[in-house]
Amino acid sequence: MRAALARAWWYVRAVMGETAYDDYLAHRGRRHPGEPVLSRREFEQRRTNPNVRCC
């Protein structure tokens, strides 16, 4: 039950884009370890929302 709730919570966060910063940190850690990273505030300000919407 707890595991199911955790998965649902993870899904909601991921779909809404809340995990974008965590993903960014993970990406930097993997590909550019040791280099400085953006703060959450800076990252969210730079993040572009493509937002093409259909009819």
Give residues in contact with another protein (CB under 8 A).
10-18, 20-21, 23-24, 27-28, 31, 40-41, 43-45, 47-55
Given the complex with another protein, which of 2 and 31 has the nearer CB atom? 31
Question: Concatenated DSSP letters for 5-52?
Answer: HHHHHHHHHHHHTTTHHHHHHHHHHHHSTTS----HHHHHHH------
Closest approach, Cβ 1 to another protein, in A, equals 18
Given the complex with another protein, which of 1 and 46 has the nearer CB atom? 46
